[in-house]
Amino acid sequence: MTAFEHLSGLWLRAVERWPVLATLGPFLPLLLLWWAVAAAELFPPAFFPGPLEVARRAVELASKGILGAYLEDSLLRLVVGALAGIAVGLPLGLLLGLSDRAHRALWPLVLFFQAIGDIAWLPILIVWFGFGLGTMTFVIVYTVMFPVLMNTALGVRSIPEVLPRAAASLGASRLRILLEVVLPGALPNIITGLRNGLGFGWRALVAAEIIVGTSGIGFMMFDARRAGSVTEVVVGLVVLGVVWSIVDSWILAPLEKATGERWGLVAR
Amino acid sequence: MKQLVVENLGKIYFDPRLGERVTALEAVSLRITPGEFVAVVGPSGCGKTTLLNLIAGFLEPTSGRILLDGRPVEGPGPDRGVVFQSYALFPWKTVLENVAFGPRMRGLPRAECEARAKRYLELVGLGHVAQRYPRELSGGMQQRVGVVRALANEPEILLMDEPFAAVDAQTRMTLQEELARIFEERRPTIFFITHDVNEAVFLADRVLVLSKGRLREELPVPIPRPRRWAPLVEDDAFKGLVGRVLQAVRAA
């Protein structure tokens, strides 16, 4: 047995024991490369900080409470915006999915407005709402709404015609058909829309914070640039990626799995 | 008498692809008495599924009327249970929840719905899969669930739209015998659509031949019950009837 085989055997056993290693593993070579490039000082350290320095700065920011407070601000905005986006997108999506007339009348508008990127709205939003919460909320609601709306409509329209028919001939009222057939039938698509919407929303939020924010991770990064701390900018980048990975793999992906895959509606 | 009466039924619809009006059904009249098993045979495109969809209330007729127990049919309702070719089970509900769905929609207490669903599942030997999801079952088992889901709601009439067309030949014969047995034991009223002449003669008391939207012929099936495949495949009376229906279908 070669040393390589021995090592890879050890690795596989370790992954089996601690599944989280499967997620972290691919980052090891990247971290090493980052460290090597930084250590070689190909670029001035002030422009290209190494991983250790970034980690040190992250701990420092966290212990001062800045990182936690900013992260809380960002996540709270995301949650509030996402809830509002769902509250608008879900009923509209159901309407567009259920009514051919509504679909004909509104679908071109939906396509038009979803094509205008959230950030493209910022110049006019700043004029309307100023540099503040109004602008930021609009951007997140806007970003979350369209994927939820479009996927909900798609999900409703992809329910086989026989299912609502079967329910009706078993005595279900229109409301019961909506609750027991249409919603669960569209749920896998709705969750996919949610997953996309929240992902886009997270990115849009950071962009909005950079431009109009007074707190949050995006603001922290932009503020650090002003102060000339590249290290802090990189801390922000890492935090953004880590937070999203956690939200996606601990909340959204299991939710998607628990519904669609169990019912056999989505192929694995 | 809770009989189903179809009077002078016609259905014309606009086909946007052809850009013209198509007559799916024309002047169809029939009568089904309680406890009767009536099968409609005909080639695909003859209008048989349209006829079933009209009786089920999924479509509205262009002319004529449908009366159940003297009252005109308006939209789908629990008095007409439907079994679909594609099973149409709710994928997000367990087998038990699927079968209990009808009784639950009619407002029966939960415990009673479940007890009834279990009883009906036992009827087709599926008590052991009550907690499974439909996709975990074979096609034949799914359609058994489809049949008992409709039965458990105790409708006035059972409408079956080519229910066994999607399962393999072996399973189909088993399901046909099972349906024959259920019919012999409980005498529900059944309106059955198929393109399979053997199936129609095996199951029905009366076979109607539908072609190009019109009823062409009506043949009673005086074969005694219980009916099972083993004796019937070699039975001359059965073979003679199948031959006559086949002739009618091909002549039409």
* pLDDT tens, residue by residue, A255-266: 877 776 666 655
pLDDT confidence of residue A37: 87
The contacts of residue A205 (CB under 8 Å, 6+ apart) are A74, A77, A78, A81, A136, A139, A140, A216, A218
Distance CA A124, CA B49 (A): 56
Q: Do A185 and B92 touch (CB under 8 A)?
A: yes
Neighbouring C-alpha atoms within 13 Å toward the C-beta of B116:
20
Q: Do A264 and B149 touch (CB under 8 A)?
A: no
The CATH number of residue B192's host domain is 3.40.50.300
Name which of A100, A161, A162, A169 to mutate to probe chain B: the one with the most chain B Cβ atoms within 10 A of its Cβ. Answer: A169
Give backbone dihedrals phi and psi of B129, rounded to 5 degrees, phi first: -110, 15
pLDDT confidence of residue A268: 36
First vs last C-alpha separation in chain A? 36
pLDDT tens across A75-112, in order? 988 888 889 999 999 999 999 999 999 999 999 999 99
Name which of B49, B86, B99, B101 to mutate to probe chain A: the one with the most chain A Cβ atoms within 10 A of its Cβ. Answer: B101
User: By 3-state DSSP, what share of chain B in percent is helix, strand and coil, each rounded to 5?
Assistant: 40, 25, 35
Neighbouring C-alpha atoms within 13 Å toward the C-beta of B225:
19
Q: Which residues of A touch B159 (CB under 8 A)?
A: 169
Distance CA B74, CA B136 (A): 36
Distance CA B57, CA A22 (A): 55
Of B115, B135, B154, the residue at which a domain comes to its end is: B154
pLDDT category at B110 given cuts 50, 70, 90 is very high
Helix axes B95-105, B110-123, angle to 10 degrees: 130
3-state SS of A31-54 is HHHHHHHHHCCCCCCCCCCCHHHH
Q: Do B80 and A169 touch (CB under 8 A)?
A: yes
Distance CA B16, CA B9 (A): 23
pLDDT tens across B139-168, in order? 999 999 999 999 999 999 999 999 999 999
Residue in chain B lying closest to A177 (CA): B105
C-alpha triplet A141, A114, A253: angle, nearest 5°: 65
Of B102, B125, B154, the residue at which a domain comes to its end is: B154
Nearest-by-Cβ selection for A168 from B76, B90, B134: B76
Rounded-to-10 torsion of CA A23, A27, A29, A31: -150
Indicate the average pLDDT of chain A. Answer: 87
Q: Are B211 and B249 in contact (CB under 8 A)?
A: yes
The residue-averaged pLDDT of A238-263 equals: 81
Question: Considering all CA atoms of chain A, what is the largest pairwise distance in Å, rounded to the nearest integer?
Answer: 74
Residue entry with tokens 């059955």: B192
**Same structural domain, B71 and B169:** yes
When divided into structural domains, chain B yields a total of 2
For residue B207, list its beta bridge partners: B39, B219
Does the pLDDT at position B240 exceed 50? Answer: yes
Distance CA A203, CA B130 (A): 45
**Same structural domain, B209 and B243:** yes
Beta pairing, strands B63-68 & B71-72: antiparallel
Q: Got the DSSP string for B144-161? A: HHHHHHHHHT--SEEEEE
Q: Which residues of B touch A160 (CB under 8 A)?
A: 86, 88
Helix (H) or strand (E) holding A175: helix A174-177
What are the angstrom distances between the C-alpha of B31 and each of B11, B65, B222?
Answer: 18, 12, 18
% of chain A beyond a pLDDT of 70: 96
The residue-averaged pLDDT of B192-209 equals: 96
Q: Do A165 and B88 touch (CB under 8 A)?
A: yes
Structural domain boundaries in chain A: 51-263
Q: How many CB atoms lie within 10 A of CB A97?
A: 25
**Same structural domain, B146 and B90:** yes
Q: Which residues of B touch A265 (CB under 8 A)?
A: 91-92
Domain ranges, residue B98: 86-154
What are the angstrom distances between the C-alpha of B133 and each of B142, B152, B170?
Answer: 10, 18, 24
Q: Which residues of A touch B105 (CB under 8 A)?
A: 167, 170-173, 176
Is residue B58 within 8 angstroms of chain A, CB to CB?
Answer: yes
pLDDT tens across A28-70, in order? 888 999 898 888 888 887 788 888 888 888 898 888 888 888 8
Residue entry with tokens 């006035």: B156
Q: How far is B84 from chain A (nearest CA, A)?
A: 8
Does the pLDDT at position B177 exceed 60? Answer: yes
Residue B75, classed as helix, strand or coil, is: coil
Distance CA A251, CA A194 (A): 11
Nearest-by-Cβ selection for A181 from B90, B135, B159: B90
Of B154, B169, B201, the residue at which a domain comes to its end is: B154
Is residue A163 within 8 angstroms of chain B, CB to CB?
Answer: yes
Is residue A184 within 8 angstroms of chain B, CB to CB?
Answer: yes
pLDDT confidence of residue A245: 87
Chain A neighbours among B 60-119 (CB < 8 Å)? 75-78, 80-82, 84, 86, 88-92, 101-102, 105-106
**Same structural domain, B30 and B55:** yes
Q: Which residues of A touch B102 (CB under 8 A)?
A: 170-171
The residue-averaged pLDDT of B41-61 equals: 93
pLDDT category at B25 given cuts 50, 70, 90 is very high
- Nearest of B175, B231, B225 to residue B204 by alpha carbon: B225
Is residue A175 within 8 angstroms of chain B, CB to CB?
Answer: no
Residues in chain B: 252
**Which is the CATH superfamily of the domain at A51-263?**
MetI-like (1.10.3720.10)
